[in-house]
Structure 1
Amino acid sequence: MLKSTLKCLTVAALLAATSLSAAAADYTLRATANSNENDEDYDGLVVFKNYVEAASNGAIEVELFIGTQLCSNGAECLQGVADGNIDIYISTSGGASGIFPYVQVLDLPYLMADDRVAEHVLQGDFTRVMRDMALEDSGNTIRLMTIGNTGGWRNFANTQRRIAEPADMEGLKIRTVVADLPQELVKALGASPTPIPWPELFTSFQTGVVEGSKNGITDIMSMKFPDAGLQYVTLDGHAYMGALWWMNNETFLSMPEDLRRVVVDGFYNLQQATFASPKRKSIQAYEEFVAGGGDLYVPTPEQKAAFKEAATPVYDWFQQNVGRGGEIFGALTEAVAEAEREVGSDRQADLN
């Protein structure tokens, strides 16, 4: 009887504490991701929520809305952020390009060589430059908080043959989104860009409407594309799959400095989580692809250099055709050069 009474009292105390904690929150942040709980975006949000709520001692509560509960696409969601109906939203570069076209700089091919370089770039001043541009272009309503990762690296995959060098791309029908930049890249490499909605891609592989795509391995395996005939993946790593995390600027600035610091540190932890999550998830995905008979090819340094050389016309196209393209391209290439120097120096120090 005593144990039962104590148990009831303990449960009641916990419930009361939870209630008091919820009631004590001075700020409630509504965060959304148009994905699911198996996605890196969700991993990042869980880390963010737990850190911010604990570090703020309950002064900030974070509500998560996964899927399309609050909004269904990039334009709608970013408008929600600008209006203050949504506090935090994560988009791909494609999802934000309708409002901020220059974010497509993250899709330019072969600029960042590996994870160490990419992570160095995205933790530095390049992201702050893009933040200032977005604030200016949104009338100080939409603030870029950080750039993480959502799916690793984009690689070329197809149903027909191994792609070891640019000439192997000749004539292949490659699925792209309805955006100019990825189509320009595919054309530069000698293939035919074919815009296809994502939900139709599996059937399009089966029927031959398209013969290839440019995706990360976790997307390829989660969508079961090998069952539709996708059997060749080339790890050319032409684009780092950046995830842009946006926040309503007024909400952020309305907080006292100590809580803004908690939010900033929360986004740092979120970023680190999204850097790590694709690396872990890709291990099993690659194993499953190969076990199912898939051909996984890693280009030699010379072959990768040939891919980059073939794709260079895209850089000029971007700077000439995308608003503020030259400005953001210069910021990215400068940041990449600095990252390569520092990462190279660190590597050399560890080799000696």
Structure 2
Amino acid sequence: MLGAVLSGSAITAASAQEFTLRATANSNENDEDYDGLVVFKNYVESASNGAIEVELFIGTQLCSTGAECLQGVSEGAIDIYISTSGGAANIFPYVQVLDLPYLMSDDRVAEHVLSGDFVRTMRDMALEDSGDTIRLMTIGNTGGWRNFANTQRRVASPEDMEGLKIRTVVADLPQELVRALGASPTPIPWPELFTSFQTGVVEGSKNGITDIMGMRFPDAGLQYLTLDGHAYMGALWFMSNESFMAMPEDMRRVVVDGFYALQQATFASPKRKSIEAYEAFVEGGGDLYVPTPEEKAAFAEAAEPVYTWFEENVDRGPEILEALRTAVSEAEEELNAGYEADLN
């Protein structure tokens, strides 16, 4: 099997060397990030015939914040790190483009976009801005899609958001989105969110269903969930460029293929986990609402000011937004051509 990946001479040459990759995810073993790392580790160690060892550090053993972890990647103390866009925004503000609402309509579009040249464009930007120290390897998924959930009422239109106190991360873009929809953004640390729902400090959030159920937020009163799917929960997988380029080309190929396997695992994992999570939400008395196409269009229209804010306030924002819009347009065109062929 390995011969299909590496030639016999390449295996012999590679096996004479040893590479150790220290990979960290600030999550837990129930998370999609961990699923992806397990697949990555298995593939890379097998396909390199043991020349590459992958050590997994789950939680905050190596670092605890996005800025700290990315600094570790830049300095070479950490080889691989997975970040949300919010976690990387202080260093690469343009990665917040992944949080712009309603640009990618479904999994097929998002997965097509994140498997193509858009990621290479963002990689080049990150390498340039980090002095060739931080390399974006791939973008996967961590939790499905962000949807609005709250403790007060069903939300079927932007007007229903009026006045709700919605928890956001500290990053600017999510707060701008909440304001555009008429609600009040309230940054709250993740560990404090359950209690904040109970006490009314916040009345809603923008999370994926697996996070909502994993944190037992319905027990704190979060009983209304609107599947507006405003953002695909992208996971940015960064690697020390020095560590990557120190490998011979055949080993770099193994690592690139390993990240492809990781990406596919993270695309699939939330789909499976969300089935049980949605069922549990409804069985617990939760109100699950799917907006009509017209209602979803109203949300998108209300969110238009966020795009202007992004282009005017985010460094290199116009450049990356144009790249994303182009990639989405090309993905939709290709997928529509496929539908035309498959349905007729």
Question: Which interval holds the TM-score relative to the shorter structure?
Answer: over 0.9
Aligned counterparts of 1:120 and 1:170: Cα–Cα separation in 2:
34
Alignment of 1:275-294 (within 5 A): 275-294=267-286
Query: Does the 8 Å CA contact 1:176/1:214 hold for their aligned counterparts?
Result: yes
Q: Name which of 184, 187, 206 aligns with 2:176.
A: 184
Correspondences of 1:30-45 after superposition (within 5 Å) = 30-45=22-37
One-letter identity of the residue aligned with 1:79 = Q
Deviations 1:28-80 (A, max 9, x none): 11101011100000000000000000001111111111111111111000000
Cα separation, 2, equivalents of 1:24 and 1:169: 61
| Alpha-carbon shift at residue 348 of structure 1 (Å) | 2.2
What pairs up with 1:65-80 in 2 under 5 angstroms? 65-80=57-72
Quote the residue 1:324 is aligned against: 316
Partner of 2:302: 310
User: What secondary structure is seen at the aligned counterpart in 1 of 2:22?
Assistant: strand
Q: Which amino acid is the alignment partner of residue 127 of structure 2?
A: L
Residue-by-residue CA offset, 1:141-163 (whole Å, 9 max, x unaligned): 00000000000000000011111
Residue 341 (structure 1) aligns with: 333
Tell me the SS of whatever aligns to 2:285: coil
Higher-Rg member (1/2): 1
Q: Tell me if the contact between 2:23 and 2:56 (Cα under 8 Å) persists in the aligned partners.
A: yes
Q: Secondary structure at the match of 2:49?
A: coil
Q: Quote the Cα distance in structure 2 between the aligned partners of 1:70 and 1:208.
A: 34
Aligned length: 330
Match of 1:254 in 2: 246
Secondary structure of the residue aligned to 2:149 is strand
SS in 2 for 1:111: coil
Aligned equivalent of 1:50, options 14, 23, 42: 42
Q: Which residue of 2 aligns with 1:126?
A: 118
| CA–CA separation in structure 2 for the residues paired with 1:215 and 1:105 | 17
CA distance in 2, matches of 1:158, 1:24: 57
Matched, 1:214 2:177: no
Where 1:246 maps in the other structure, the secondary structure is: strand
Identity of aligned residues (%): 84
Aligned AA for 1:89? Y
**Partners of 1:24 and 1:58 within 8 A in 2:** no
Contact 1:93–1:242 (8 Å) recurs in 2: yes
1:6 maps to none
Aligned position for 1:3: none
TM-aligned CA deviation for residue 25 of structure 1? 5.6
8 Å CA contact 1:25, 1:58 repeated in 2 = no
The Cα offsets for residues 236-288 of structure 1, whole Å up to 9 and x where unpaired, read as 00000000000000111111111110000000000000000000000000000
Match of residue 203 from structure 1: 195
Partner of 2:163: 171
**Runs of 4 or more above 2 Å deviation:** none
Q: Report the aligned-residue RMSD.
A: 0.9
SS at match of 1:296: strand
Within 1, Cα distance between the matches of 2:159 and 2:321? 27
* TM, length-normalised to structure 2: 0.95
Which structure 2 segments of 5+ residues have no match? 1-14
Using the size of structure 1 for normalisation, the TM-score is: 0.93
SS in 1 for 2:234: strand
1:297 CA displacement: 0.6
Q: Quick one: distance in 1 between partners of 2:252 and 2:213?
A: 39
Say whether residues 1:243 and 2:238 are aligned partners: no
Give the AA of the match of 1:252: F
Amino acid at match of 1:101: P
| Partner residue, 1:115 | 107
